[in-house]
Amino acid sequence: MQECSREDYDRWLDLGFRRNNAGFRLALIQLGVSANKAQNVKKAVQFIKEAAEQQAKVVVLPECFNSPFGNEYFEEYAEQIPGDTTDALCQAARENNVYIIGGSLPEKSGEKLYNTLTACSPLGEIIAKHRKVHLFDIDIPGKIRFKESDTLSPGNSLTTCDIGYCKVGLGICYDIRFAEMASFYADKGCKLLVYPGAFNLTTGPAHWELLTRARAAENQVYVCSVSPARDQNATYVAYGHTLISDPWGTVIGKADETEQIVYADIDLGYVDEVRSSIPIIRQRRLDLYTRATAKQ
């Protein structure tokens, strides 16, 4: 991984990579994940190159893109950050001159395991790390029971990063169910929220698109939810259907369940247009209620 200082990175943005308010092309990679970690990473890097060739400037990977999803896999596939997987992502970001929001991977830190997202700049630097805040502990009788907390620890902070074009709020999967988190990001100036996730065949059809569009419309931001491709033979079967919603709540890009790249051209000016048309930020009754805040 190439190192650079915060000052060097900010100077680089100011000298030419920081764009105007027009926007950028976003690529969402719905990756087929196998039990072969090295092959998963290699394939992710190949898709990143393909997306860059299609003029994408920001590329997003799915949750647990280098590992099968499940408590029985997290310990085996976990690695430190930085590590082999994040080194490969940083190299891909540098070689393809793109930002990469690297889905998530099982992270080992001391005696604890986390479900962790990293973001890499085109300079090959890790610019953000988000540990999943809300762990996926559910029990739907007769359908699915899963407890991430059996193996994983929760993160204890909310995370934004500057991708040159705009500020981005980061979450992982179950984090999208918590509206307060998204509202906090919007108040911090984020115009794009990114949720790598792996909803299942019970929660996916019911809530995956609903939650993505809701978080977008209520905060008047772009929201993308990026899933692994569906593998019916996996121990945990992901729903797929990666998608992105615009600030009006309209789906502007969507996959089926198969491995593919979803592209969307992000118009940052449209965020301002929607907020001007329906000015809910100015219309809040903060004399009656308060907005979400986060511990600093």
Q: Of 37, 63, 129, 209, which one is the catalytic site residue?
A: 63
Residue 70 DSSP symbol:
S
Contact 280, 220 (CB under 8 A): yes
Q: Could you confirm whether 63 is annotated as catalytic?
A: yes
| Helix extents (H) in 54-121 | 71-77, 84-96
Can you say whether the dihedral through the CA atoms of 191, 193, 194, 199 is positive or negative? negative
Quote the CA–CA distance of 293 and 250 in Å, as a whole number: 27
The closest alpha carbon to 105, from 113, 95, 96, 97, belongs to: 113
Contact 100, 93 (CB under 8 A): yes
Quote the CA–CA distance of 212 and 283 in Å, as a whole number: 23
Q: Could you confirm whether 173 is annotated as catalytic?
A: yes
Place of tokens 């929760």: 154
Contact 195, 209 (CB under 8 A): no
Instruction: Burial-class residue 182 by CB neighbours within 10 Å (0-12, 13-18, 19+).
Output: buried
Q: Of 132, 166, 190, 209, which one is the catalytic site residue?
A: 132
Task: Please give the C-alpha separations between residue 178 and each of 27, 175, 183, 195, in angstroms, as whole numbers.
Answer: 25, 6, 9, 12
List residues with catalytic annotation.
Answer: 63, 132, 173
